[in-house]
């Protein structure tokens, strides 16, 4: 996987986790849900990249 894409996906996961934790801490369910969704999107993109890399080799 390209280092740039991997870093972007990991960054998306970290950003999502921070939104989720912040939302939980302040009682904002919408922010918490957005954080979980962002984490899932980052995980999905990372999975797709790994599958692409597997097929290349």
Q: How many whole angstroms separate alpha carbon 50 and alpha carbon 35? A: 23
Global pTM value: 0.79
The pLDDT value given to residue 52: 86
Q: What is the pLDDT along the chain (57 residues), one digit of tens a residue?
A: 567 788 888 889 999 999 999 999 999 999 999 999 999 999 999 999 888 888 886
The pLDDT value given to residue 1: 53
DSSP assignment of 6-51: HHHHHHHHHHHHHHHHHHHHHT-HHHHHHHHHHHHHHHHHHHHHHH
3-class SS at 53? helix
């Amino acid at each position: 996987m390209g280092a740039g894409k991997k870093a972007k996906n990991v960054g998306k996961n970290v950003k999502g986790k921070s939104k989720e934790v912040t939302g939980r801490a302040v009682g904002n369910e919408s922010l918490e849900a957005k954080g979980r969704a962002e984490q899932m999107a980052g995980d999905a993109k990372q999975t797709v990249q790994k599958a692409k890399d597997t097929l290349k080799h």
